[in-house]
Amino acid sequence: MQTYDLEANGLRGLNATLQSQSTETNQTSWEVVNPKGSHAIAVGLDAPIEVTVKGSTGYYCAGMNQQATVKVEGSVGPGVAENMMSGQVIVDGDASQYAGATGHGGLLVIKGNASSRCGISMKGIDIVVHGNIGHMSAFMAQAGNLVVCGDAGDALGDSLYEARLFVRGSVKSLGADCVEKEMRPEHLEILKDLLDRAGADASPEEFKRYGSARQLYNFDVDNAAAY
Amino acid sequence: MKDMDDQIPRTLPIQSATFTNPINAEIRRAAATGIYDIRGGGAKRKVPHFDDLLFLGASVSRYPLEGYRERCDTSVTLGTRFAKKPIELDIPITIAGMSFGALSGPAKEALGRGASAAGTSTTTGDGGMTPEERGHSSKLVYQYLPSRYGMNPNDLRKADAIEIVVGQGAKPGGGGMLLGQKISDRVAEMRTLPKGIDQRSACRHPDWTGPDDLEIKILELREITDWQVPIYVKVGATRPYYDTALAVKAGADVVVMDGMQGGTAATQDVFIEHVGLPTLSCIRPAVQALQDLGVHREVQLVISGGIRTGADVAKALALGADAVAIGTAALVALGDNDPKWEAEYQKLGTTTGAYDDWHEGQDPAGITTQDPDLAARLNPVEAGRRLRNYLKVMTLEAQTIARACGHNHLHNLEPEDLCALTMEAAAMARVPLAGTSWYPGKEGF
Contacts of B17 (CB under 8 A, 6+ apart): none
Question: Residue B2: pLDDT band by 50, 70, 90 thresholds?
Answer: low
Count of Cβ atoms closer than 10 Å to residue B73 Cβ: 14
Predicted local confidence at residue B6, as pLDDT: 78
pLDDT tens digits, B123-170: 999 888 988 889 999 999 999 999 999 999 999 999 999 999 999 999
- Most B CBs within 10 A among A17, A19, A96, hence the mutation to make, goes to A19
Q: How far is B232 from chain A (nearest CA, A)?
A: 19
Q: How far is A110 from chain B (nearest CA, A)?
A: 17
**Residues of chain B found within 8 Å of residue A218, distances taken between Cβ atoms:** 180, 196-198
- Residue A29: give the domain boundaries: 2-215
For residue A34, what is the domain's CATH number?
2.160.20.60
pLDDT in tens, chain A (227 residues): 899 999 999 999 999 999 999 888 888 999 999 999 999 999 999 999 999 999 999 999 999 999 999 999 999 999 999 999 999 999 999 999 999 999 999 999 999 999 999 999 999 999 999 999 999 999 999 999 999 999 999 999 999 999 999 999 999 999 999 999 999 999 999 999 999 999 999 999 999 999 999 998 877 777 777 66
Q: Using CA atoms, how far apart are residues B146 and B368, in angstroms rounded to an integer?
A: 22
Predicted local confidence at residue B380, as pLDDT: 97
Q: How far is B182 from chain A (nearest CA, A)?
A: 12
State how far the alpha carbon of B271 is from the alpha carbons of B36, B44, B200, in Å. 10, 12, 16
**Residues of chain A found within 8 Å of residue B202, distances taken between Cβ atoms:** 121, 140
Touching check for A58 and chain B: CB below 8 Å? yes
**Residues of chain A found within 8 Å of residue B207, distances taken between Cβ atoms:** 60, 78-79, 82, 97-98, 101-102, 120
Selecting from B35, B148, B224 the residue whose C-beta is nearest the C-beta of A44 gives B224
Touching check for A166 and chain B: CB below 8 Å? no
**Residues of chain B found within 8 Å of residue A175, distances taken between Cβ atoms:** none
Question: Residue B444: pLDDT band by 50, 70, 90 thresholds?
Answer: low
Is residue B445 predicted with pLDDT exceeding 80?
no
φ, ψ of residue B39 in degrees (nearest 5): -155, 175
Selecting from B180, B200, B216 the residue whose C-beta is nearest the C-beta of A140 gives B200
Touching check for A17 and chain B: CB below 8 Å? no
Alpha helices in B203-338 (DSSP H): 210-224, 240-250, 269-274, 279-292, 310-318, 328-334
Residue A29 located in a structural domain: yes
What are the residue ranges spanned by the domains of chain B? Answer: 48-429
Average pLDDT (B389-409) is 98
Predicted local confidence at residue B351, as pLDDT: 96
Average pLDDT (B246-253) is 98
Q: What is the fold of B48-429?
A: TIM Barrel (3.20.20)
Residue B138, burial from CB neighbour count under 10 angstroms (0-12, 13-18, 19+): middle
Q: Say how many domains are in chain A.
A: 1
Which secondary structure element, helix H or strand E, spans residue B156, and what is its range? helix B153-158
Touching check for A213 and chain B: CB below 8 Å? no
Predicted local confidence at residue A146, as pLDDT: 98
Predicted local confidence at residue B1, as pLDDT: 57
Question: Residue B227: pLDDT band by 50, 70, 90 thresholds?
Answer: very high
Judge contact between B36 and B268, C-beta under 8 A: yes
Q: Using CA atoms, how far apart are residues B71 and B402, in angstroms rounded to an integer?
A: 10
Is the pTM of the predicted complex or chain greater than 0.80? yes
Judge contact between A102 and A120, C-beta under 8 A: yes
Is residue B186 predicted with pLDDT exceeding 90?
no
Predicted local confidence at residue B127, as pLDDT: 81
